[in-house]
């Protein structure tokens, strides 16, 4: 029997009573999936699982997905090592609001992050619920976004938008840079309908979205900036303090997240796996979905 402790009124829960090092039984998998769909991100402390156990857990949510532009752990093509060394200058992998690999055709439905070394202070991660953000979005912005595509590009990995060398994050992580293929634009619906709960959710993020379809970058910028400021309001966020052995699982299409870069002088090491689900196109929300939504008080 799992015990859920909500972290905030809108997003995130710590789960007690789950042993992720044993077999992931059908009952356990169903309970975790149910908790994930309600809380968007769930945390299980004190697990200290192996990579084999992490992969088994990940596969219980969906087919394990390999993502481009980040070299996987040697001998482990399904696993990314998320590491920042104590003496490493510059940014941190994931250190800006984003949805993991939103620019690919089938972005991860979810991600699993398994913390092994955590700094004595700092290194938290923040998640923002994009269904809560949608609910509270002013009607004119809802009308502008519903049924419209946003254009995503692999900005950090390409040529056109790639950050200057000294600002680049993830020096310990062997990111593939300068690939013109990463500049390719891909349209995804700006508003999705959650496959389990049916709730509508924003699907935009500043790391990968360059503009709205039918608008130039200049025309899109004020709209995207306003929506982003709204989408990450503290009321829609939870901030998680990691301890070694914690496993986090998040709904990648229903959230944005942000790795806080404030632990200089300390190592931080985590292992990330991702699982597949429907494409954003398959989850596109339309005006009828919007009008059918119950009013939120």
152 included as an active-site residue: no
Angle at 154 between CA 157 and CA 253, to 5 degrees: 130
At residue 20, the 3 state secondary structure works out as coil
Closest residue by Cα to residue 28 from 59, 60, 6 = 60
CB of 188 to ligand SIN, least distance (A): 18
Q: Which of residues 122 and 195 has its CB atom nearest to ligand SIN in the complex?
A: 122
Q: Which of 238, 230, 251 is nearest to 11 (CA)?
A: 238
Q: Does 155 bind ligand SIN (CB under 6 A)?
A: no
The secondary structure of the chain in percent helix, strand, coil, rounded to multiples of 5, reads: 25, 25, 45
**48 tagged catalytic:** no
Contact status: 94 vs ligand SIN (CB under 6 A): yes
The nearest distance, CB 241 to ligand SIN, in angstroms, is: 11
- Location of structure tokens 């196109």: 281
Taking CB under 6 A as the criterion, which residues in 258-287 touch ligand SIN?
Answer: 259, 270, 272
Give yes or no: 194 in active site: no
151 binds ligand SIN (CB under 6 A): no
Return the number of other C-beta atoms located less than 10 Å from residue 244's C-beta: 14
Q: At closest approach, how far in Å is the CB of 249 from ligand SIN?
A: 12
Tokens at residue 154, please? 């692999």
Stretch that binds ligand SIN, among 71-79, 92-100, 170-178, 225-233 (CB under 6 A): 92-100
Q: Does 121 qualify as catalytic in the annotation?
A: no
Gap between the Cα atoms of 42 and 271, Å rounded: 16
Catalytic site residue from 39, 98, 152, 194:
98
Using the rule CB under 6 A, is 169 a contact of ligand SIN? Answer: no
Nearer to ligand SIN among residue 38 and residue 239 (C-beta) = 239
Ranges within 54-83 binding ligand SIN (CB under 6 A):
82
Of the candidate spans 37-45, 93-101, 193-201, 279-287, the one that interacts with ligand SIN by CB under 6 A turns out to be: 93-101
Q: Which lies closer to ligand SIN via its Cβ, residue 95 or residue 195? A: 95
Of 125, 130, 162, 207, the one binding ligand SIN by CB under 6 A: 125
CA atoms of 170 and 167, how far apart (whole Å) = 10
Q: Look-up: residue for tokens 């009828």?
A: 288
Q: Element (H or E) spanning 292, and its range?
A: helix 287-292
Tell me if 117 sits within 8 A of 268, measured CB to CB. yes
> Which tokens belong to 150?
């946003």
| Nearer residue to ligand SIN within complex by CB, 155 or 193 | 155
Active-site residue set: 98, 100, 257, 272
Q: Note the residues at the interface with ligand SIN (CB under 6 A).
A: 82, 93-94, 100, 111, 125, 257, 259, 270, 272
């Amino acid at each position: 029997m799992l015990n859920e402790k909500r972290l905030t009124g809108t997003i995130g829960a710590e789960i007690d009573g789950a042993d992720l090092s044993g077999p992931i039984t059908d009952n356990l998998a169903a309970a975790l999936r149910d908790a994930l769909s309600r809380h968007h991100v769930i945390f299980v402390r004190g697990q200290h699982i192996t990579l084999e156990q992490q992969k088994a857990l990940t596969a219980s949510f969906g087919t394990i997905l390999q993502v481009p532009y980040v070299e996987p752990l040697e001998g482990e093509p399904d696993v990314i090592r998320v590491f920042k060394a104590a003496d490493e200058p510059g940014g941190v992998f994931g250190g800006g609001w984003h949805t993991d690999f939103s620019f690919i055709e089938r972005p991860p439905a979810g991600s699993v992050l398994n913390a092994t070394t955590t700094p004595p202070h700092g290194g938290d991660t923040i998640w923002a619920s994009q269904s809560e953000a949608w609910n509270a979005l002013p009607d004119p912005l809802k009308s502008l976004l519903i049924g419209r595509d946003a254009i995503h590009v692999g900005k950090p990995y390409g040529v056109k938008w790639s950050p200057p060398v000294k600002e680049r994050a993830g020096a310990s992580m062997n990111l593939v840079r300068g690939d013109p293929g990463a500049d390719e634009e891909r349209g995804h619906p700006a508003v999705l309908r959650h496959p389990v709960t049916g709730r509508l959710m924003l699907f935009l993020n500043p790391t990968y979205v360059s503009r709205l379809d039918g608008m130039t970058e200049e025309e899109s910028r004020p709209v995207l900036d306003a929506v982003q400021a709204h989408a990450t309001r503290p009321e829609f966020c939870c901030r998680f303090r990691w301890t070694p052995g914690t496993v986090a699982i998040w709904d990648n299409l229903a959230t944005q997240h942000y790795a806080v870069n404030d632990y200089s002088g300390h190592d931080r090491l985590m292992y990330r796996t991702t699982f597949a689900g429907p494409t954003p196109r398959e989850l596109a929300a339309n005006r009828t979905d919007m009008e059918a939504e119950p009013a939120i008080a």
